[in-house]
Structure 1
């Protein structure tokens, strides 16, 4: 029995759309424009503990499409998941929360963004594949560079 209590656990408890927003602030006039729009896409990740061994992980996509200096449309979608992670070393938990969980959530987010664009009357915006491992490693390298590679002693 004691052996079971130390067995690593990783499982999805729930996957859900946490927030969704579509804005077309300059419609209908901007819809008559013939200029090719500019599309900017930003991704953000978040992870928070919600209970003992339970974490909410979010991936947020913000898609801003402009024609000149006017917004054609803005979509913000936040897809979330609740994950149970127990008996996993802290350094591995961080990687799971930053790489594995977002990889599971991201396909849902991609589908939502594409669907919302289509339902708003625009061609779908297809979010590109994301290498969450590379993002995690780059962020770790940046944090290490900012700390100068030294450790503080209290």
Structure 2
């Protein structure tokens, strides 16, 4: 019986404790004149993820999306939102924390963020913008590959500063 309790106490546990909208900003700097434009808007979306340890087994994960929509050279609207959550990770090996924070947590948060952005845009009297699905595993792998490449480039650096346009041979 004591062995069963010890095994249960050491079992890995991963739980979302709380999800919340940490920040939301919506700007329509060219309203109402922009409503007279007939062209379809161009949409630019950027996504950033972040996180921090709050305690030994408690972490905050964030996903921030910035949406800039333009018609010609005028901004129709600019939305920036940060969705966050508090996660508890107990008995998770240290090498698995980063993938959880970089893949699993953002994947869980993103649907909340998509909904909040669509709702905010709908409140402007414009049609909602439904953000596309995001493969956070692919983004995580890109970030790891880029960090490895930058680390490799740093070790290959000879210390010479080359003028713009000149390449190393």
CA distance in 2, matches of 1:94, 1:149: 23
CA positional deviation for 1:109: 0.6
- 2:122 is the counterpart of 1:118: yes
Residue aligning to 1:146: 150
CA positional deviation for 1:105: 0.5
Residue aligning to 1:130: 134
CA distance in 2, matches of 1:61, 1:126: 12
Greater radius of gyration (CA):
2
**Any unmatched runs of 5+ in structure 1?**
none
**TM-score in terms of structure 1 length:** 0.92
Residue aligning to 1:49: 53
Residue aligning to 1:6: 10
Q: Which has more strand, going by share of residues?
A: 1
**Any unmatched runs of 5+ in structure 2?**
156-169
- 1:76-115 to 2 correspondences below 5 Å: 76-115=80-119
**TM-score in terms of structure 2 length:** 0.84
Residue aligning to 1:18: 22
CA distance in 1, matches of 2:33, 2:9: 62
Question: Which runs of 4 or more aligned residues in structure 1 lie more than 4 Å from their structure 2 counterparts after TM superposition?
Answer: none
CA distance in 2, matches of 1:53, 1:149: 35
CA positional deviation for 1:136: 0.6
